[in-house]
Amino acid sequence: MRKYIILLFLFVSCYTVGYSQIVRGIILDSKTKTPISFASVYFNNTMAGTISDEKGYFELDRSKYPSMSITVSSIGYYSFTLADFSITQPIQIFLKSKEHELNETVIKSKSLVKDRMRYMKKFKEEFLGKTENARKCRILNDSDITFDYYANKDTLRAFALKPILIENEALGYTVTSYLDKFEYSRKSKKVCYIGNVVFKEYPINKKKQMAYAKNRKNAYLGSRMHFFRSLSRNDSIVDGFKVANPSNEYLLLKDIAAGSKITNSSYYYLHLKDIVVQDSLENRYLSYPTGLKIIYPEGRGKTYISFLKKYVFFDKTGYFDSSGIAWDGSMGDQRIADWLPYEYTIE
């Protein structure tokens, strides 16, 4: 009997080690190599994360987010996103300081009160959005945001040493935004935003729960998250999305999405027309030789995408490789006020 107990213990131990999804590591200053205390370690656009300790060490459970990259942010540093990492060995993450660059901008901007008011108004429009949800958003620490007043007058540049704290009273979230780059071109009306966000849900308020649910559903329908979840489930037609090429020819799912199989740790890209897609096949790739037009009903307009990579990864949560696509039109106009965490499920 004792022999069987030992064997069972060994099996359970091996199973736990083999399937452990705890990522461990240390966060260091890239120049001084000193530990960075109380840095945020999280999955972008989620409610999941942790904080490094006094010595820069952290542990993060990725079992619910197996295909997502890990992002690290800290006050005075540029965020760092790690896509490839080991869960069997501790990892080292180095953050680059941005304090010197920002200090110069703050010093120059002290006497520019009127310019600051004008720039802040435009920043909030392009950062939060212009929707009804945006009007119910409030930046709690806008004094931590500064601008480059002496740059090209066509371009508005915003900076923040500290994370930007946002209360979204329409969707019921507190949003922490780690801003690494923000540029708005007045001529082209284009926004370049590089940053990451973490969500925290408001405490349960039964009087407002129904309003939150309604507003979240409205923000979700026709969103990027909705689109990629639809592709992952193979039901874009049921969900109402239509996709066309530049010749206005409507495309089938098999024309734009590819599935992935893992065999002996090697990836094989197979068009959906060549394989039978099972529910367990979670990881996909969006790909097409040209740009695409995405149409969603309910009067939400059209979206145009162009590919920056041959294959753009996405999964069933709606997560996708944002560096692989440039957006224009309806989905491109969605700003932080209308974003939802990947944990969101439609009711």
pLDDT one-digit tens code per residue, 33-74: 999 999 999 999 999 999 999 999 999 998 888 888 899 999
Q: Could you count the other beta carbons within 10 Å of the beta carbon of residue 128?
A: 23
Measured in degrees and rounded to the nearest 5, phi and psi for residue 113 equal -65, -50
pLDDT at residue number 116: 86
pLDDT at residue number 237: 58
pLDDT at residue number 205: 77
pLDDT at residue number 15: 38
Identify the CA nearest to 230 among candidates 307, 290, 295.
295
pLDDT at residue number 56: 95
Q: What is the DSSP secondary structure assignment for residue 72, as one 8-state letter?
A: E
pLDDT at residue number 281: 45
**Rounded Cα–Cα distance for residues 149 and 120 (Å):** 12
The end-to-end CA distance of the chain, in Å, is 50
Largest CA distance in the chain: 82
Identify the CA nearest to 56 among candidates 35, 71, 73, 81.
35
Judged by DSSP in three states, 128 sits in helix
- In this structure, are residues 228 and 319 in contact, taking their beta carbons and an 8 Å threshold? yes
Task: List, as one string, the DSSP characters of 203-234.
Answer: PP-HHHHHHHHHHHHHHHTTSHHHHHHHHHHT
pLDDT at residue number 176: 97
In Å, what is the CA distance from 197 to each residue of 12, 115, 166, 235, 257? 37, 27, 10, 29, 27
pLDDT at residue number 258: 73
- For 181, what's the count of Cα atoms within 13 Å in the CB-facing half-sphere? 7
Q: Could you count the other beta carbons within 10 Å of the beta carbon of residue 82?
A: 14
Question: Which residue, chain included where needed, has tokens 């922490």?
Answer: 176
Token pair, residue 8, equals: 């069972």
Q: What is the CA radius of gyration of the chain?
A: 22
Q: Could you count the other beta carbons within 10 Å of the beta carbon of residue 164?
A: 22
* Positions of the chain with pLDDT lower than 50, given as ranges: 1-19, 260-281
What are the contacts of 324-327 at 24+ separation with CB within 8 A? Answer: 324/286, 325/286, 327/224, 327/303
Region class of 257: left (phi > 0), else alpha (psi between -120 and 50), else beta: beta
